[in-house]
């Protein structure tokens, strides 16, 4: 529908695609060696295949601009919102950051040691996954919760419904330590009534980055 909002969106998408198209055209013509994603996309394929066509390169570049911006911005927004309501957790986070960074700027080498920070982000994504609706195509006839889903059916699912379901104790409360995998806290999510008599769920059923066979069905950050 040509509503003002939809028109604004279409124009914005057209502008982004045009700008990226110009960058890609410039790169194809230029000889300078930029060590970046656009260069990688325009190089011939790994197995001697042809380089990506311009429109496909623009598609990928657009995804790479859209995918990391709204997701990370919304996640950080919710992190700060939740931390503002939990000053005790902020104090613990400060202690962790001061200890691990010891006054240095944060780098990749610190990631594994920022354990509480990771738990805070995981717990935030459980409560407020940035992609609140996902879709998958059923590849083989499947029975799910008493319903037969035939191959080819498109299924929509809400990661936030899973995150806030009875799989978790007090699912609405913000409790980063539920992701503490030290022996004192490590408890599997409660078995859901729908799973009675079936194998236990993995410990982390929250899948805010999507999941599925690469190279199509999850966030590219998981592949890295």
Binding site for ligand HEM (CB under 6 A): 63-64, 67-68, 71-72, 75, 125, 130-131, 134, 208-210, 216-221
Give the separation between CA 73 and CA 115, rounded to whole angstroms. 21
Nearest distance from residue 83's CB to ligand HEM, in Å? 16
The residue among 17 and 209 lying less far from ligand HEM, judged by its C-beta, is 209
The residue among 184 and 216 lying less far from ligand HEM, judged by its C-beta, is 216
Give the separation between CA 188 and CA 22, rounded to whole angstroms. 51
Contact 74, 129 (CB under 8 A): no
DSSP annotation of 2 reads: -
The residue among 144 and 187 lying less far from ligand HEM, judged by its C-beta, is 144
Nearest distance from residue 107's CB to ligand HEM, in Å? 17
Crossing angle between the packed helical segments 115-127 and 87-101, to the nearest 10 degrees? 140
Exposure letters 116-131 (e unless 16+ CB within 10 A, then b) = bbebbbebbbbbbbbb
The residue number with the shortest CB distance to ligand HEM is 210
Give the separation between CA 126 and CA 205, rounded to whole angstroms. 9
Nearest distance from residue 103's CB to ligand HEM, in Å? 27
The residue among 100 and 124 lying less far from ligand HEM, judged by its C-beta, is 124
Give the separation between CA 38 and CA 61, rounded to whole angstroms. 8
Contact 185, 123 (CB under 8 A): no
Nearest distance from residue 90's CB to ligand HEM, in Å? 20
Nearest distance from residue 4's CB to ligand HEM, in Å? 28
Give the separation between CA 135 and CA 119, rounded to whole angstroms. 26
The residue among 134 and 189 lying less far from ligand HEM, judged by its C-beta, is 134
Nearest distance from residue 105's CB to ligand HEM, in Å? 19
The residue among 65 and 144 lying less far from ligand HEM, judged by its C-beta, is 65
């Amino acid at each position: 529908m040509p509503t003002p909002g939809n028109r604004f969106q279409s124009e914005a998408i057209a502008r982004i695609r045009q700008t990226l198209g110009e960058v890609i055209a410039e790169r194809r013509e230029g000889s300078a060696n930029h060590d970046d994603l656009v260069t990688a996309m325009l190089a011939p394929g790994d197995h001697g295949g042809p380089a990506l066509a311009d429109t496909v390169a623009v598609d990928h570049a657009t995804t790479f601009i859209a995918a990391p911006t709204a997701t990370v911005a919304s996640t950080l927004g919710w992190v700060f919102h939740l931390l503002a309501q939990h000053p005790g957790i902020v104090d613990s986070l400060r202690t962790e950051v001061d200890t691990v960074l010891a006054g240095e700027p944060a780098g990749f080498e610190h990631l594994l040691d920022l354990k509480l920070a990771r738990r805070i982000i995981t717990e935030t994504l459980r409560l407020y996954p940035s992609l609140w609706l996902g879709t998958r195509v059923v590849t083989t006839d499947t029975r799910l919760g008493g319903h037969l889903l035939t191959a080819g059916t498109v299924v929509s699912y809400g990661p936030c419904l899973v995150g806030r379901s009875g799989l978790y104790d007090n699912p609405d409360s913000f409790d980063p330590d539920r992701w503490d995998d030290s022996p004192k806290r490590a408890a599997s999510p409660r078995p859901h009534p729908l799973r009675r008599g079936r194998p236990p769920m993995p410990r982390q059923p929250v899948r805010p980055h999507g999941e599925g066979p690469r190279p199509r069905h999850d966030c590219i950050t998981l592949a890295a």
